[in-house]
Amino acid sequence: MAKRAQIIPPRADLKKKAVNLSKGFDMRLTPEVVRKLEEVVHKSRDTFTADIAEKLVTMRRLLTESRPEPERQRDLVAQIYDASLEIKGAGGTIGYDLLSQIGKSLNDFVTGLTALDARQQRAVGLHVDALYAVLANRITGRGGIIENAIVEAFGEARRKLRPEADEDGRAGDDDREA
Amino acid sequence: MPEKIDFSKVSFLIVDKSPPTARLIRDILHVLGVTAIRIADTVERARKMLRRDPVDVIITEHHLGEESGLALIEWVRTAPDSLDRMTPIIMLTANSEEDYVVRARDIGVTEFLAKPFNVEGLYRRLVAVIARPRAFVNADGYFGPDRRRRQVPYTGPDRRRSDD
């Protein structure tokens, strides 16, 4: 017979330790604190862009040196998956929303793959080129009409070259709550 | 008088394999006054740290290499050698599609925040886990925060089988 669920009351020790009426930060961020925190994020921008640039160099090298052996292909896809996921997560955090969008598009493209055929490899290469262009031209925010058209074109390429990926319903992710 | 949070009393473990991201979270926490911050880049290292000395809050990525952030949550919530099964855990991850959120919730995550993130979003999660602790549920196949976000009053009869 199924065990009846036991409800354990919220634990108050952390709240007791940190929440008070005199010292610390307001429960809702004040504009002053937001400014200070955003300054921290802004300062990290150079470190992030250098890291992303390094990842793009690595992806470009991996694509150039790619071999048809299954093990090498698996490794290639895994490394592209890792790099694109990090770019997706980092870009928008430091104000490069377009990097995140293209990073997500690349990540969606390789998710579930274990090898890349010639056409898929070209599509990955185009993603890397676009990421380079965004970084080199310091295109912050979501970009303009041309940039959005590029992101849409990548979506179209994914639907053509990876129809099964879109069936998984991987589109759309925002500030989700558990 | 409105309540405040003194973050200097709270200790954190950040688990992320991206050094710039881990450093950014650490720097944000420093500005908030946190002094006790540890960083791990794998689940194994995080487990080792937590076995030695538990922390007040864990912030973990999902994608961590061989073992995922879910393995860390599962270990914290259920392992006999976990020193504090009720530690608040915030999953801060670029794996933010719905299926990841559902899996994290069903394994016992406390809060979920998608990357790319902004400081307000992170702050809201910190306030939630520290100032608004949730009840825990211990049931068959689940130990973790109560997954019901809204409490809706029910006045009808209790029809669960165990009450027959």
Residues of chain A positioned with their CB less than 8 A from the CB of B93: 89
Identify which of B57, B116, B147 has the shortest CB distance to residue A89.
B116
> Is there a domain that residue B80 lies in?
yes
Give residue for tokens 């928008």. A92
Give residue for tokens 């940039």. A147
Residue A83, pLDDT score: 97
| Number of compact structural domains in chain B | 1
Residues of chain A positioned with their CB less than 8 A from the CB of B97: 170, 172-173
Going residue by residue through chain A, which has 178 residues, state the pLDDT in tens, using 9 for 90 and above.
666 889 999 999 999 999 999 999 999 999 999 999 999 999 999 999 999 999 999 999 999 998 888 899 999 999 999 999 999 999 999 999 999 999 999 999 999 999 999 999 999 999 999 999 999 999 998 888 888 888 888 888 888 887 676 655 444 444 445 5
Mean predicted confidence (pLDDT) in B70-98 = 97
CB contact under 8 A, B162 and A4: yes
What range does the domain containing B26 cover?
8-148
Name the residue in chain A with its Cα closest to that of B131.
A15
Residue A169, pLDDT score: 45
> Is there a domain that residue B124 lies in?
yes
CA proximity to B138, closest of B89, B98, B85: B85
Residue A166, pLDDT score: 61
Residue A174, pLDDT score: 43
> Is there a domain that residue B156 lies in?
no
Kindly provide the ipTM of the predicted complex, given to two decimals: 0.88
Q: Please state which of the four CATH numbers 3.40.50, 3.10.450, 1.20.120, 2.60.40 is assigned to the domain occupying A43-164.
A: 1.20.120
CA separation, residue A36 to residues A140, B83, B114 (Å) = 20, 35, 22
CB contact under 8 A, B112 and A38: no
How far apart are alpha carbons B100 and B106 in whole angstroms? 10
* pLDDT tens-digit series, residues B21-73: 999 999 999 999 999 999 999 999 999 999 999 999 999 999 998 999 999 99
Count the alpha carbons within 13 Å of A106 in the hemisphere toward its beta carbon.
32
B64: CATH? 3.40.50.2300
Please say if the pLDDT value at position B111 is more than 80. yes
Lowest mean pLDDT among B67-76, B125-134, B143-152: B143-152
Question: Which tokens go with A56?
Answer: 């793009």
Mean pLDDT computed over every residue of chain B: 93
Residue B77: how many other CB atoms lie within 10 Å: 21
Residue A171, pLDDT score: 42
CB contact under 8 A, A178 and B110: yes
> Is there a domain that residue B153 lies in?
no
* pLDDT tens-digit series, residues A107-156: 999 999 999 999 999 999 999 999 999 999 999 988 888 888 888 888 88
Task: Say if A163 is an interface residue toward chain B (CB within 8 Å).
Answer: no
Residue A1, pLDDT score: 61
How far apart are alpha carbons B32 and B155 in whole angstroms? 44
State the SS3 of A44-105: CHHHHHHHHHHHHHHHHHHHHCCCCCHHHHHHHHHHHHHHHHHHHHHHHHHCCHHHHHHHHH
Residue B151, pLDDT score: 62
Identify which of A37, A85, A176 has the shortest CB distance to residue B101.
A176
Strand partners, B13: B38, B58
Return the higher-pLDDT residue of B119 and B155.
B119
